[in-house]
Every structure is written in C-alpha cells, then in structure tokens.
Amino acid sequence: MIEQSDSTQWDIVPHGDRCLVIRFGSGIDVAVGRRCGAAAAALRKAAIRGVSDIVPTFNTVAVHYLPGHFAANTSARNLEAEIENVLREADLQRGGAGGRLLELPVCYGGPFGPDLSDVAERVGLSEAEIIELHSGEPVYVFMLGFAPGAPFMGVHDERFALPRRTTPRTAVPAGSVGIANRQTFIYPNELPGGWNIIGRTPLPLFDPFGDPATLISPGDSVRFMPISEQAFKLWHKQ
C-alpha cells in the first residue's frame, strides 16, 4: 500500500499480461511527477531484458514488456522483482533525472490565443497578468500523450484551475497552447480538443525523422517565453 507520508514507497500492479504499472501516488503533484520521471530514467538506464516501453504519467510509470524473456507463466513476478531492485538502488528523490530546462517561445492572445480574453475574464485578471502568470515559473513535463509529441505540463497557480471548454473545438491549430485544471497542453498538430487556447508556439513539437523525435521530453521543465506576432513569424520561417 502507498504510504503518503513516505515518499519512497510505490506499488506495482499488473495491467494485463504485458504491462506492469508502478504507482507513486494518486493526485497530480509535481513531487510525485518527479519521482515518476526519476524512476522512468532509472529503469531506462537499467535496460531490463524484455522491456519495450517505459511510460511515465502524472503519478505512475507503465512498464510494457514482451513475453518469452522470462520463465513460463511467471513473467510478471520476475519483472516485478527486477523493477523493485532498480527502484531501491535509484535515488528517486533527485527527481526527473536528466530533465532539461527549456524555454519555449509563445505568442499570446490575438488570433493565436482566441480564449485569452475569456480566460482573463473568468479568472478576474487582465490579459497581461495571465501572460505574466503563465510565463513566470517553469512547469514540469509529466508526460507526452494524446498525440505524438504532445506535452502535459504543470502544476500552475491555482487561478488556472478552470475546466476545459464545455464544447470542444473540432480543429485546434498545430502549436496551440491550452490551459485547464492547472495544466498546460500543447497541440503538436491540428487536432480536436477542448483546452482553453491562450497562445501558440512557432516551434514544431514532433518530427518522426528527428533525433529525438520530440522537442520536449517527459521529465523536462518548460518556461514559456512571450514573443510578439512579428517574432512568431520569424521563428516560424526558420
């Protein structure tokens, strides 16, 4: 069982016959997210035979594996023991080992941030104050998902606790920066979605032929850097 007071605890549970999920907590909290990031980094470094994917999320790490690398019908138990060993050796308190601090240019408001004025009104701040609040402190990248290269980041000031739009848009342009539930999400390509769009980044988030394929990785921290519409166009051309 998870002891909330003891930050070194975790729980390993099978999700079907080819995945184990390590749970570090229940809510959405940067300290828990950093332990997930550190655990994912340690497991990646350990390169356990048979493991194909290591996927950190808000408070878990999913370890996907292929059968045939372990003795018959004991795969999950053997892998669980190996994971326990790696995690006990790892320094999970260091948090998000290998994570970088990235500066991401964002052009706020206007045509790129159609929900900025609405968000300002609902939160009770000016648009300038929203931008300042959003770009002030770096946020942690909990995970990538929903689409390749799409980061879920947080946790923002509680004034950004507003829910997603009641009616999702059918097409949100690539690079759109959305906020909801104290998180920021960026659309790597045109997709449907309900996040409150306050700006857009000119940088591509996903390139399948790039190395790495994504601009942002789980475990990174991101500081948003406000840029003008003119600067956006210059960045975009590069």
Partner 1 sequence: MSVTVLRPGLASTFQDLGRHGHQHLGMPVGGAMDPRAHRLANLIAGNERDMATLEITLVGPVLRFDAPACIALSGADLSPMVNGAPIPMGRPIIMRAGDVLSFGARRTGVRCYIAWHGGIALPEVLGSQSTYLRGRLGGFQGRALQKDDVLPLNTPLRIDALDPLVGALQRLAIYLPSTLAYNPRARLRVMRGPHTGLFTDKALRTFFHDTYRIANESDRMGYRLLGPALTLRANRQLPSEGATFGSVQVPPDGLPIILMADRQSIGGYPKIGHVATVDLPQLAQSMPGESLCFEEITLAQAQQLDNLREQALEGLRSSLNELRERMACSIQKA
CB of 188 to partner 1, least distance (A): 8
Q: Given its phi and psi angles, is residue 98 left (phi above 0), alpha (psi -120 to 50 degrees) or beta?
A: left
User: Using CB under 8 A, which residues numbered 80 to 139 contact partner 1?
Assistant: none
CB of 200 to partner 1, least distance (A): 19
Positive or negative torsion for Cα 174, 234, 184, 164: negative
CB of 143 to partner 1, least distance (A): 6
Nearer to partner 1, 138 or 148 (CB): 148
- CA–CA dist 180, 185 (Å, integer): 8
Strand 221-226 to 101-108 pairing: parallel
CB of 124 to partner 1, least distance (A): 25
Q: Which of 128, 213, 225, 234 binds partner 1 (CB under 8 A)?
A: 213
Q: Which of 7, 19, 159, 194 binds partner 1 (CB under 8 A)?
A: 19
User: Does residue 76 belong to the site contacting partner 1 (CB under 8 A)?
Assistant: yes
User: Does residue 174 belong to the site contacting partner 1 (CB under 8 A)?
Assistant: no
- CA–CA dist 6, 12 (Å, integer): 16
Here's the x/- map for partner 1, 30-69, by CB under 8 A: it reads as: ----------x-----------xxxxxxxxxxx-x--xx-
How many chain residues interact with partner 1 (CB under 8 A)?
Answer: 49
- CA–CA dist 199, 215 (Å, integer): 18
Measured torsion, CA atoms of residues 186, 55, 57, 81, in degrees rounded to the nearest 10: -170
Burial class (CB in 10 A: 0-12, 13-18, 19+), 37: buried
User: Using CB under 8 A, which residues numbered 131 to 150 contact partner 1?
Assistant: 143-150
DSSP state of 162: P
Q: By the criterion CB under 8 A, which residues form the site for partner 1?
A: 13-19, 21, 23, 27-28, 40, 52-62, 64, 67-68, 72-76, 143-150, 152, 188, 206, 208-209, 212-214, 217-218
